[in-house]
Amino acid sequence: MSDDTSNPIVVMERVNKYFGSLHVLQDVDLSVDPGEVIVIIGASGSGKSTLIRCINGLEPFQGGAIEVDDHRLVPDGGGRSALQAIRTEVGMVFQQFNLFPHRKVLDNITLAPVKVRGWSWERATENAQRLLERVGIADQADKYPSQLSGGQQQRVAIARSLAMEPRVMLFDEPTSALDPEMIGEVLDVMRELAREGMTMLVVTHEMGFAREVAHRAIYIHGGRIVEQGRPEAVFDNPQNERTQAFLSRVLKH
């Protein structure tokens, strides 16, 4: 694991991804520095979620290469040892919380560090309790996911990802399944992670959050990155006509 913060922690080189004949990602180049927060925006079907799912190997890709912390992935799942290393270093939070419904909150968080990292139950439990406090739900450890609100479940999902001590966190529209009053509590946790220097790639429609927290905003259309820059530049003065059209629709609501 490299400690050299001058080197990018994530690099995508001309990545291409197909679903059958559908060309979902087209020659995507992206470099992410340690501690950088990147927000990815675009219409449904533009390739946003596919892009971040390729980074941690959830989706195989058919052209180019992806490197995470010097571990290199090549097309169609090549480099199995690299894939395993990347999955331990990259946390992911989904739209749906994907918690184990039959396990209590504490068990949901301790399972992966014990099974994957080989931690003792004592160490994993102590870490899980600390993380639950960090995300503001220390009093929910002995409950089952069904006993929690959607916002609480998503905070458990974030704690579960953090329990693996990832170097990069991926968020795939983490607030889209939440009731409006629960969105803020999840965004607050993400703001705190950003302040602490976590490297984050966030697919979101929360434009206020993007403007406030992101170092860079990326707009994707048709599987291509068509515009990127500081959030205030992208949102207030977009240069690409497709970005202009998208933001004119989104920012009116």
* pLDDT tens digits, one per residue of 181-191: 889 999 999 99
The angle at the Cα of 14, spanning 8 to 16, to the nearest 5 degrees, equals: 125
DSSP 132-162: HHHTT-GGGTTS-GGGS-HHHHHHHHHHHHH
Separation of CA 125 from chain center: 24
Residue 166's nearest CA partner among 6, 30, 1, 5 is: 1
Higher model confidence: residue 155 or residue 85?
155
Mean pLDDT of the region 119-140: 95
Span 162-176, pLDDT tens digits: 999 999 999 999 998
Residue 134's nearest CA partner among 107, 104, 109, 168 is: 109
Span 6-65, pLDDT tens digits: 799 999 999 999 999 999 999 999 999 999 999 999 998 899 999 999 999 899 999 999
Work out the pLDDT band at 76, boundaries 50, 70, 90: low
Residue 125 has what pLDDT? 96
> Per mean pLDDT, which range of 37-41, 152-156, 180-184, 196-200 is the poorest?
180-184
Span 88-110, pLDDT tens digits: 899 999 988 889 999 999 999 99
Residue 181 has what pLDDT? 86
State the pTM of this model: 0.92
- Is the pLDDT score of 253 beyond 70? no
